[in-house]
Structure 1
Amino acid sequence: MKLSIDHSHHFELLRILGHAYYGGSDVQEVLQIAGRLTPGDDEGWYEAWNALAESLKVTADEAQEKGHLKSASQTYLRAAMYFMISDFYLHANTDDPRILASGRASRAAFMAAIPGLDFEVARVEIPYEGAWLPGYVVKKKGTPAGKRPTLICHSGFDGNKEELVLFPGMAAAERGYTVVAFDGPGQGEVVRETRRAFRPDWDKVVSPVIDFALTRADVDPSRIALLGISLGGVLAPIAAAKDRRIRALVANGGLYSFYDVVSARFPEAVPANRERFDQAVNAAIKTDTMSRWAINHGKLVFGVDNAFDYVNSTKPYVAADAAQVRATTLVIDSEQEGFFEGQPQKLYDALTCEKTLMHFPSSEAVGEHCQAGAEAAGGRKIFDWLDEAMDVKSVKP
């Protein structure tokens, strides 16, 4: 079933629809927006989602004033996710003030939702190169005190830590894990508030997060897992190749070379012919929503001002040291991957550790990139594997 004839709109609608499982959307709200959207209309996308988020925030404020705290929490949470998705196609102008405003509105609504959740969610500041990275620690309410198996998770090209709290955060927490979800350079709050762009030496990002986790009484140093989503499917292996404290690694989905993926969309970039490349990009962004979004967002998160430099700046994002990974590793290969075709196998082949290449078939409703729309079914497959890899089958939340 297609939610839009615009492939990019379809995927993002499916993504936000999937968050309904952990309360981050409501099915009819998403479907009503889908019915009003015009393919390729970037401004229309923003206006529809922002209007819904603003309306829900008003509703949540009223519920909170009247003492309906659970209703307020649930409504704030949906508003947070809708604010988050609203600016998705606005990044042609990386200085558009709505980008910063929507991120702040999303975080404010998310923080307002926390008291009514069935999970303990604490915002944390993780020391990082003289500054800090924003994150959350997530646990199921009522989890016994003491050291717990711990999942550290980060997103990829376009996700953020608030989205990670829903999935995989809540999925892990309800299984007894302590979860640390964070935004790194190029992601979420960090890139919007500080303009810190992605960096290819991702171990320099993850290792301080592990250092932080190890200061906590609810983290078991011998059972630390790292999960990277989308572009995180190469970032996490880069980190795990250097930091041996990681016991288990999940690449969702598996990615060996980001440049191979990006340049395949614009083969004119491969021979480094600037004129031909610019012509191809200009033609694509006029007619293809996905190409327009990828280029515009790429400029923002990689800290460059043109498409040619963006594509070429992705070259170092390759799991060249995958053979150095010692963590037991799950590489996810989704049947309808759409973005990383062939990449999971390349990453798997480069690994020499104990490893699993897991096929996620459409027949089980998990065939989309990063299991979009299937957080229950996807979570089962991921966490059944992770529980066994981390020896946590006996842990009860």
Structure 2
Amino acid sequence: MTEYTARHIQVFEGHEAIRRRPGMYIGSTGERGLHQMVYEVVSCAVDEHLAGHADVIDVTITADGGVRVADNGRGLPVAVEEPGGKPGVERVLTELSFGSKRHTGYWVSGGLSGLGLCVVNALSDRLMVEVRRDGHRWTQEYERGAAVTPLTRREESGECGTSITFLPDAGIFETTWFSFAALSERLRELAFLNGGLAISLTDERPERAVRYHHADGLRALVARLNPYPASLVHSPAIGFGSENEDKTILVEVAMQWNTWSPGEVRSYANNARTREGGAHEEGFRTALMEVVNDWARRRGQLGADDADITAGDVHKGLTAVVSVNLARPRFEGATRGRLGNPEADTYVQEVVREHLTEWLERNPNEAGSVIRHMLDASGESGRW
């Protein structure tokens, strides 16, 4: 028999573990994983926005095939951190165990919950970080996850923010060619999900650029998903949001009915698309059914002996986006595409009941049109 003892066990730490098993952190070493590198860096900048400290993110595909992500947030910490005596920015970029601690100042964290910058650094051939804070510009360079220069204080600067430029390691990835179209689509989605945040994408390979900024947030996304104004049952889209007392859940909802589509509900948790739904989406569907049927009965569009409007009829032609930000999201499934937090179900129901009922009461004509649309969908429009 082949000998097997304790000395055969290998333990990988830090960036070595990431480079040996990149799929555990970014999903794959193909095009999807390559683009996930960009999204992880962008996610850290979005965290700054959600914390109220950044409103601009600039993403650039550089001429040499790398990517630069810059924001106008507070800037990564440059003070020396203990233990280890390293600057905070170096710990963020090199220590897996430090990422989550970095986010003690953030009530919401997207991506790999603060570990993303360390992962991106480990999987990059080269990375340079530039920080503007504490009255100066600071720079540091890395190769394959390890610092090759100390954090260096440069000229004085009154600005704040972080810029990270990385070149993915061709020895790890199957391709290092970034798709402008793929990055553009995701960045546009993030701009919709974070109303007021401006995100730009510039490609220096062939010169081209786009910029996304949607002050109307999710309502603007619903308007884009409903491209035929003549088919709308009501306009503008319904939009509302609320944060719980503990400030651990923020809910935003936008919705609009039309006459041309079978209906679509998109859900997100901490800016990630939950394609398999989950607690937040279930809470939305449950409350929507209750509110619609209750309002229709109180307004006489459903009689005492009439059956409830069915879920299929309620969702016919409905375009809705449900987005939640949670302090401690729990995702289910191998693809992390389903949200499992039961408190999200409860709070989304509460928010939808309150705010959708208010909208129906304030807009009785539009509300009546929505109910008639549902009754028409069921073939029972003669009841009203």
Q: TM-score, normalised by structure 2?
A: 0.25
* Higher helix residue share: 1
